[in-house]
Structure 1
């Protein structure tokens, strides 16, 4: 395909993944196309190959304007547990985008960045590794439901209109010192669980002063295995999927080779940094996202495993 003619719309462009994708795409000498960012309340840094359109993704006219002459869509726009806005973004916004795609003469491919929330994250037990054939199993809350509805809507447009769509299903996305902030008993913990709320305040403060980390245990009492992906690896997968022939109408799990093992992480941090751990019981279940399909069809490989993820976070650098 002629990458010079690619004109890519990025929704959710001001978010963690959106900004990283824009930087990665513009910094990749093999990517010669242009970008258009659909921004709502915030904006992105100017660049000669980047155009910005402001407005709401739930507004039909705004989406139609943003879609003019577009060849690809990287759909990242989402909201978390916000019942007031989530259907406008996840359903109405996606609907207008897909409607514009099927009517467009320039359109080539729609890339949805999904999430493992659509297959239950760590809320449900799975006897086998989770592959792309796993049935949708949203956990309680509107966010997980929205991820199921997004994947379902894209799949139906593939069925109804033979749309060229790709879903990259990503788990928890890490960058910088996110992992270090997650493995903290402080009140500024990144993500969930919020460890300091699970124990007495005095005990949490003591662990924090000692720089101890939580060793998360699953519902069976074993060290938790939880899916993660480094931001750089996800961006690499998105760039590969833009024009890869094998990405057409496919869903791919994009994750680390192995899930993040809290037991192995505790051992590595003790060995390399003399950081001690505290076992923390939870009701959650260990899971394993199978990434074989992305490796086989796309040739994608994650560069970040457990040790490199830890080294990047504790060194506060991107290795």
Structure 2
């Protein structure tokens, strides 16, 4: 088994590589990490290929002898790159994969941006049958195109593809910084822009957290997944016959409720909450299909997600760096 991992230096890629190398089920598996801007250290089971998936020649070389592909590489809101890397790059990967004599399984990590997460109202749980509904911007559109392209290659050529659709992926202290009123906020909304400047500075100093409300005035519910749970789902899907040409929602059992977050942080850490109205919509991704077909279970609930983020201590050689905008 030789697994090509794109986006191998990201939070999911690095955690997946470590998880696979430690898993006795894959003791003979080798990894080829396709790296563009950053590199990994090579070992007896990990080799590094350099280049961009937007370059067909690079993709051809990277796929030589590969049995499995785990496709993680993506772009956020970078219009100059998003079509070349995310869309064309996936096309070259799928084209070469389907023509390869050694190819066995292609796993794509999708995203709930493809169904609009909290930008669109959903009348019920978001299952794998929910229609694609991108929100404004290139990133959400690219997630729709990725899922559709993988599905169509299965229809056109019988490609053994599997898509694991993940919401916002948390690792280390990420979740803590999703709630920051400072300039160190991770992702969006950018809370400091939603309150007066002086208030934002005070909230950042005291560690206050936003209590985001949905368009109906209730505490907003939004889906998350911890990187460890996503990696366990990837490992469960590898060579699983029940994963063939399937789409799975991979997320926590319940969405994160900003009201419950505020209550728990007030009780456990004495942090104040700040009401933030919005026109966003609560939603609930249904992960029962992955549980049933893959035998997978998430291990993170709300309290563990919060506690792990607040208890995480960074070492000096592990600075907090966000590698993509948005």
TM range (shorter): over 0.9
1:27 aligns with 2:22: yes
In the alignment, which residue of structure 1 is the partner of 2:196?
200
Gaps in structure 2 of 5+ consecutive residues = 315-326
Q: CA deviation at 1:42?
A: 1.2
Q: For each residue in 1:126-176, what CA deviation from the matched residue of structure 2 results, as whole angstroms up to 9, or x when unmatched?
A: 010000001100000010000000111101000000110000000000011
In the alignment, which residue of structure 2 is the partner of 1:283?
279
How far apart, CA to CA, are the structure 1 residues paired with 2:76 and 2:114? 13
TM-score normalised by L of structure 1:
0.96
In the alignment, which residue of structure 1 is the partner of 2:4?
9
Does the residue aligned with 1:125 lie in a helix, a strand or coil? coil
Q: CA deviation at 1:29?
A: 2.5
Does the residue aligned with 2:25 lie in a helix, a strand or coil? coil
Q: For each residue in 1:10-56, what CA deviation from the matched residue of structure 2 results, as whole angstroms up to 9, or x when unmatched?
A: 01111121111111111222212000011112111222101111011
Gaps in structure 1 of 5+ consecutive residues = 1-5
1:226 aligns with 2:222: yes
Does the residue aligned with 1:30 lie in a helix, a strand or coil? helix
Q: CA deviation at 1:102?
A: 1.1
Q: Which runs of 4+ in 1 moved over 3 A?
A: none
Q: 2:49 aligns with which of 32, 44, 53?
A: 53
Q: What is the alpha-carbon root mean square deviation over aligned residues?
A: 1.1
In the alignment, which residue of structure 2 is the partner of 1:3?
none
Q: CA deviation at 1:209?
A: 2.1
1:160 aligns with 2:156: yes
1:127-206 to structure 2, matched below 5 A, reads 127-206=123-202
Bigger mean CA deviation after superposition, 204-213 or 132-141: 204-213
Does the residue aligned with 2:146 lie in a helix, a strand or coil? helix
TM-score normalised by L of structure 2:
0.94
How far apart, CA to CA, are the structure 2 residues paired with 1:69 and 1:291? 34
1:212 aligns with 2:183: no
How far apart, CA to CA, are the structure 1 residues paired with 2:138 and 2:206? 37
Does the residue aligned with 1:168 lie in a helix, a strand or coil? strand
Q: CA deviation at 1:317?
A: 6.0
